[in-house]
Structure 1
Amino acid sequence: MLQTDAAVAAWAAATGPQLVWWTPLWWVLSMVLGPWAWRLLAAAWGLWWLLRERGRPSWVGVPWLVVAVLAGGLVPLAVKAVVQRPRPLAALVPVTQTSYPSGHAFAITVAAVVAVLALGAHLHRRGRILFGLLAAVLVVLVCLARVLLVVDNVSDVLAGCALGLVWLGLLRGLSLCWAPGPRAAVGSGTRRR
C-alpha cells in the first residue's frame, strides 16, 4: 500500500501544478463537502429536532445520527494523535495536523450513511437507490479531492472511510442497547378460566 500511496502522490504532485483548474477545483470541493459543513448541517438538524419537541428535549431522545456526526469529529483526531503519520511532502495546499486517518473521508462517510439512513426511509425504493448512489459519489469525490491535492494518501482516505463505518456500527450497537424494549399494553393480557 505504501508504494501505491507514493506513486499516486507523485503523480498528483506532478500533474496538479500543470493544470490551472486542478488545485482550486479540488480545494473547493474538499471544503464545501468537508467535515465542518456536515457538522453544521447536523447541528441545525438536531436543533430543529429539539425545537420540534416543544420544550421537552432529552438527550435520550436526540437521534443518534446527529451524535454520530457531531461527536464523530473527535474520533479521527484521537487516532491521528496516536498514529502521528505526517502529511505527504508535496501537498498542493497548506494543511495542519497529521494525515492518518483522513478526517475528511471519515466525515463524508459518516454524513453519507447518516443521510441515507435518515432520509432514505422517507423515499420510495427507486429514490433510495438514487439517493444512495449520490451519497456514494460524494464520498468518492471528497476522497479523490484529498488524494489529488496530495494532502492525504490513498491509505489515509481508505482508513478514514473504514473508521467512519466502524464508528457508526459502534453507535448503532450502543443505541440498540439503550433502546427500550417492547412494552406490554396495560390490560392486554387474556384471562385464564
Structure 2
Amino acid sequence: MLWTWIDAHAATGGLCLVLAALGGLFFYLRLPATARLRHAGLPMPRAAWLGLAAAGVLALLALAVMVRDMLGLVQPAGCATCTDWPVLDEALHLWLAGHATDAWVCPVVAFTQLGNVAWMVSLSAAVLALLLWRRDWLHAAAWVVATAGVGLWIRAIKTSVGRPRPVGGWVPEGGFSFPSGHSAGTFVLYLMLAWLLLPYLRPAWRWPVGLAALAVALGVGASRVVLRVHYASDVLAGWLLGLAWMALVICAVEWAQTRVAGRRC
C-alpha cells in the first residue's frame, strides 16, 4: 500500500522536494553569518563545480533521450527514430547467460549488497545524524535532498516506463527494471559521501577517495547486469540519473558557499 502510494506520487514529490530545496537555499543565503554552516575549508574551485554542472546537464539530456526511447518502443506503432535498446540489451544478456558460471554468483551477490536498500537507508540515516549533530545545516539538507530525491525519481521513472525485468535472473528481484535503482542510488550515495569528506582529507587523498566511490558505484551497477536482474540500458540510465541529480545538489551547495565566501572577502 505504501509503495503503491509513493509510486503514484513520486514525480510530484520530486518536484516538491526541488521547490523546498530552492526555498531553503534562498533563506540560507539570508541567514546571519553566525547561523550559517560551519564547514572545513573553502568551496570547490569555480571551474570544478561548473564542469560538474555541465556533466549533469549532459547526463540529464541523455537520460531524457533514453526515457523517450523506452516510452516510444512500448507504443503499438513503435518509434522509428528511437534507439532499439532491447536488441542491444538482449545480445549482452544472452552472452552473459552463456558465459557466467555459478562461481560468479556468490562474490557478485555479496558486492551488490553495497546497493541494498536497507544498507543505504541505514548509512544515509547515520550520515544525516552526524551532520545534524555538527549543526552542518546546509550539508544535512543537501544530503536529504540528494538521497531522498533520487529515490523519488527512480520510482517515478520506473512507474512511467514500466519495463519488465529480464527473465532468469540469478537472484529474485521484484518491481520494474528501468532505470536501475541500485545504480542510481549508489552513484548518489557514495559520491555525495566522498564530496562531504573532501574538506577533511589531505589533498593527496582526495582523488583516490573520489575514484574509489566512483568505482563502487560503477561496480554495483555492473553487478546488476552480471546477475541478470537488469539490462545494461537500465544500469546506464541509473548512472545518468544519479549523475544528473548529484550534480544538481552539489552545484547548488557550491554556488551558495561561493556566494557566502565572496561576502566574507
Q: TM-score range by the shorter chain?
A: 0.7 to 0.9
User: Aligned equivalents of 1:101 and 1:120: distance in 2?
Assistant: 29
Contact residue 26 and residue 145 of structure 1 kept, 8 A: yes
Q: Which has the higher helix share?
A: 2
Unaligned runs of 5+ in 2: 1-84
User: Aligned equivalents of 1:95 and 1:136: distance in 2?
Assistant: 24
Deviation at 1:144, TM superposition (A): 1.4
AA partner of residue 97 (structure 1): G
Counterpart selection for 2:132 from 50, 54, 70: 50
Deviation at 1:118, TM superposition (A): 0.6
Contact residue 73 and residue 107 of structure 1 kept, 8 A: yes
1:84-163 mapped onto 2 (5 Å cutoff):
84-163=162-241
User: Aligned equivalents of 1:68 and 1:78: distance in 2?
Assistant: 15
AA partner of residue 181 (structure 2): G
Deviation at 1:175, TM superposition (A): 4.7
Cα deviation code 1:105-163 (max 9, x no counterpart): 00111012202211122222320111122112112210111000111111111100100
Contact residue 151 and residue 181 of structure 2 kept, 8 A: yes
1:172-187 mapped onto 2 (5 Å cutoff):
172=250, 175=253, 182=260
Q: Which residue of 1 aligns with 2:118?
A: 36
Give the TM-score of the pair, scaled to structure 1.
0.79
Aligned residues: 179
User: Aligned equivalents of 1:61 and 1:123: distance in 2?
Assistant: 17
Q: Which residue of 1 aligns with 2:69?
A: none
Contact residue 85 and residue 98 of structure 1 kept, 8 A: yes
CA RMSD of aligned residues (A): 2.6
- Cα 1:9–1:42 shift into 2, 3 Å: same
User: Aligned equivalents of 1:181 and 1:139: distance in 2?
Assistant: 31
Deviation at 1:177, TM superposition (A): 7.9
Larger radius of gyration between Structure 1 and Structure 2: 1
- Cα 1:126–1:3 shift into 2, 3 Å: farther
Q: Which residue of 1 aligns with 2:93?
A: 9
User: Aligned equivalents of 1:61 and 1:12: distance in 2?
Assistant: 41
Deviation at 1:72, TM superposition (A): 2.2
AA partner of residue 156 (structure 1): D
- Cα 1:122–1:85 shift into 2, 3 Å: same
User: Aligned equivalents of 1:45 and 1:61: distance in 2?
Assistant: 10
- Cα 1:9–1:184 shift into 2, 3 Å: closer
Cα deviation code 1:84-110 (max 9, x no counterpart): 011111212111011100000001110
User: Aligned equivalents of 2:112 and 2:96: distance in 1?
Assistant: 15
- Cα 1:136–1:7 shift into 2, 3 Å: same
Give the TM-score of the pair, scaled to structure 2.
0.60
Deviation at 1:68, TM superposition (A): 0.8
